Amino acid sequence: MVLQKGCGILHKLVINGGKKISGEIKLQGAKNSALPILAATVLVEGQTVIKNCPELTDIYVASRILTHLGCKVTRQEKETVVVSNNGITCGFISEKLMREMRSSIIFLGAVLGRCGECSLYFPGGCQLGPRPVDIHLSALRKMGIMISEEHGRINCTAPNGIKGAKIMLEFPSVGATENIILAAVKAEGETEIKNAAREPEIKDLVSYLVKCGAKIEFSSESTIRIKGVDRLDGCEHSVIPDRIAAATYLAAAAITDGAVCISGTSQLDASSFTGYFEHMGCSVYICNDKICLKGKNRILPVKSLKTMPYPGFATDMQAIIMSVLCKADGTSVFEENIFESRYKHVDALNMMGADIKVYGKIAVVQGVKKLYGANVEATDLRGGAAMTVAALAAEGTTEITCINHIDRGYEKIDTVLASLGADIKRKPEFQ
């Protein structure tokens, strides 16, 4: 696994565009599922074997946090991580560790559920605007947890134990839903979460916890009930496939008029994203364990794309789909309703010849006939992926720096794309 820390570490992607992306690949496990499951191992006794766990820098950071807390973490095979928990020795996570990963806040609920107290810092990672951590803290307070904040540090204690509660989320936040579940599985009494997030990754976390002995049920699509138990024991669990990575590789084929088949998708909710490619005129086939896409010479525009909580258009796919629609035959309109700073990739795409105008949370994309290579910087995980997709169809050479962002969520993206015919290389940044 390539490990990088910050933009200064010294690798870039060099892409010579114009090659059709065609062939077959196996899909990686879902980052957004593996991370909360790793956090959940804090709550269990003994050994957990996590299969289909992708090799990503975010996974590495989560493993370092677990090690810091007192767990033993090993990668036995390429896709298998083993966590041995024989007792947590620490309820504190340093600012340095928290700043390395945007989703590190998920350890709050897990450590609280295990220790009854937790002290950590606000998370770092991609800067996408304010993340509503207040939603997490408000819910935890209803469970009897006392919280104080000072100089970016969050201190939590449950002097009378964590208590089950009825919680209505003002917004179906994925992170808040996960933190409440993790705090509640060993709490006293029953917790009910209404307006809970409905993402497949939430259901995968619940599936893992139930295997460990948790009592969790979905009483409706957006209501989760958790009855606290005294003990959870480790188990073997396979992480679901990564739907955002799947959309990215389909996008690479779509923008280059290629043809790709992705295997390992049997547990994937493909309907949540394949329809966008069909609207573009691509042919999509789903059969058993595979999703296949055949591109279209001239991409059709999509009139309106509004990011919404699942099962709506995912904010994580916004930049990636936008990169494809840069070459559409007409105008597409995006409305970003989840994060207020998620158009940072637009400047880079415009440098490559795209015609995108941003008006607050609206982005208007006028398709162009050609994109051109440029020197750009990955601003965040999905923005970097969007630049990579655009570069595959651009004339000339594109150099993308700060690829540590991309490595957070894509397992060896350069190797995967090269296997599909891309002219792409990972090189030292200052070469």
Per-residue model confidence as pLDDT tens digits over 162-186: 999 999 999 999 999 999 999 999 9
Q: Are 391 and 21 in contact (CB under 8 A)?
A: no
Give CA–CA dist 103/411, Å, rounded: 18
- Quick one: pLDDT at residue 1? 36
For range 114-134, the mean pLDDT = 74
Q: Is 149 or 366 the better-scoring residue by pLDDT?
A: 366
**Three-state secondary-structure class, residue 409:** coil
The closest alpha carbon to 119, from 148, 90, 92, belongs to 92
The answer to whether 348 and 387 are in contact (CB under 8 A) is yes
Per-residue model confidence as pLDDT tens digits over 230-262:
999 999 999 999 999 999 999 999 999 999 999
pLDDT recorded at residue 124:
62
At residue 151, the pLDDT reads 86
Cβ atoms < 10 Å from Cβ of 228? 20
Respond yes or no: is residue 126 known to be catalytic.
yes
Residue 3, pLDDT > 80, answer no
pLDDT value of position 142: 97
pLDDT of residue 431: 65
Instruction: Write down the pLDDT at residue 122.
Output: 86
Buried b (16+ CB within 10 A) or exposed e, 351-386: bbbbebeeeebebebebbeebbbbebbbbbbbbbbb
Determine the average pLDDT of the residues in 86-101. 90
Q: Which amino acid is at 253?
A: A
Residue 340 has pLDDT above 90, yes or no: no
**C-alpha closest to that of 209 among 48, 86, 60:** 48
SS3 content of the chain, % helix, strand, coil (to 5): 35, 30, 40
**pLDDT beyond 90 at 90:** no
Is residue 97 within 8 Å of 73, Cβ to Cβ? no
- Note the pLDDT tens digit of each residue in 404-418: 999 999 999 999 999
Which of 147-151, 324-328, 408-412 comes out lowest in average pLDDT? 147-151
> pLDDT at position 9, please?
58
State the chain's maximal CA–CA distance in angstroms.
Answer: 64
**Could you give the CA distance from residue 320 to residue 254 in angstroms, rounded to a whole number?**
11
Average pLDDT of the chain is 94
- Range from 267-276, 313-322, 382-391 carrying the lowest mean pLDDT: 267-276
Residue 5 has pLDDT above 80, yes or no: no
For 172-274, strand residue ranges (E) read 190-194, 215-220, 223-227, 236-238, 259-263
Whole-angstrom CA distances from 201 to 59, 95, 132, 205, 362 are 15, 26, 19, 6, 28
Relative orientation angle of helices 381-393 and 315-325, to the nearest 10 degrees: 20
- Give me the pLDDT at residue 269, please: 87
Q: What pLDDT, on a 0 to 100 scale, did the predictor assign at position 351?
A: 98
Q: How far apart are CA 5 and CA 234, in angstroms?
A: 31
At 129 the pLDDT is: 46
Q: How far apart are CA 174 and CA 94, in angstroms?
A: 23
Long-range contacts of 119-123 (CB under 8 A, 24+ apart): 119/91, 119/92, 119/93, 119/153, 119/154, 119/155, 119/156, 120/92, 120/93, 120/153, 120/154, 121/93, 121/94, 121/95, 121/152, 121/153, 121/154, 122/98, 122/152, 122/154, 123/98, 123/99
Tokens representing residue 378 in the block: 């990955």
Mean predicted confidence (pLDDT) in 326-340: 95
For 1-45, where are the E strands, in sequence order? 11-16, 22-26
Give the torsion sign (CA, 259, 264, 266, 269).
negative
Cβ atoms of 105 and 182 within 8 Å: the answer is no
**In this structure, how many other beta carbons lie within 10 angstroms of the beta carbon of residue 43?**
24
Query: Which residue in 210, 207, 137 sits closest to 176, CA to CA?
Result: 137
Q: Is the pLDDT of residue 312 over 60?
A: yes
Q: In sequence order, which ranges of 213-281 are alpha helices (DSSP H)? A: 243-255, 274-279
pLDDT tops 90 at residue 7: no
Q: What is the mean pLDDT of residues 58-63?
A: 96
Tokens of 42: 């804090």
- In this structure, of 252-261, 320-329, 339-348, the range with the lowest mean pLDDT score is 339-348
Parallel, antiparallel or unpaired: strands 283-287 and 117-121: unpaired
Per-residue model confidence (pLDDT) at position 359? 96
Q: For 107-199, where are the alpha helices, taking DSSP H only?
A: 107-115, 133-141, 174-184
Q: The whole model's pTM is what?
A: 0.94
Alpha-carbon distance of 385 to 391, in angstroms, equals 10
Q: Which two tokens stand for residue 398?
A: 């594109």
Q: What is the pLDDT of residue 414?
A: 98
Q: What is the pLDDT of residue 125?
A: 46
- Active-site residue, from 118, 126, 261, 282: 126
